[in-house]
Structure 1
Amino acid sequence: MAKYKIKTHSGAKRRFDISGRGKILRRKIGVNNFRRKKRGETLREIPGKRPVAPADARRLRRLLPYS
């Protein structure tokens, strides 16, 4: 009997990246809305990626099966 392929969650593949070592990375919050209220210094500190929490990483592995 043939094995079935698991579909990748399309929302998760847009929002998360996989590092070279296999960690799941997320964007930091607070960049998209209400930018005018924030200081430039604050906005420059925000960009970048952070690893997700271990409990969330386990859940995301099911959504991103081939990464």
Structure 2
Amino acid sequence: MPKLKTKSGAKKRFKVTGTGKVMAAAAGKRHRLISHNGKYIRQNRGTSAMCAQDARTVKKFLPYA
């Protein structure tokens, strides 16, 4: 069986925990932050678990995670 390739965009953005949950950072925190206020930047700090429907899609992009 050939090896499956991981989507390089997904490996930079998502992390799979030991229990199988997919963690992701908030959207809109990569560039052009000068246009956002401090409250927006503060509240979107850190990562959170994705919903089950989206996590199923991301897991297809990360076959060995």
Give deviations 1:22-62, integer Å, cap 9, x for gaps. Answer: 21111112323443344323322211111112111111111
Over alpha carbons, which structure has the higher Rg? 1
Give the unaligned 5+ runs of structure 1: none
Alignment of 1:14 with 2:7, yes or no, is no
The DSSP-based 3-state class of the residue aligned with 2:41 is: helix
RMSD of equivalent CA atoms: 1.7
> What amino acid sits opposite 1:52 in the alignment?
M
Q: How many corresponding residue pairs?
A: 65
Normalised by the length of structure 2, the TM-score is 0.77
Identity %: 34
Of Structure 1 and Structure 2, the greater helix share is in: 2
Equivalent positions of 1:9-48 (< 5 A) are: 9-48=7-46
| Distance (Å, rounded) in 2 between the aligned partners of 1:13 and 1:7 | 11
| Distance (Å, rounded) in 1 between the aligned partners of 2:8 and 2:35 | 32
| Distance (Å, rounded) in 2 between the aligned partners of 1:58 and 1:14 | 17
Normalised by the length of structure 1, the TM-score is 0.75
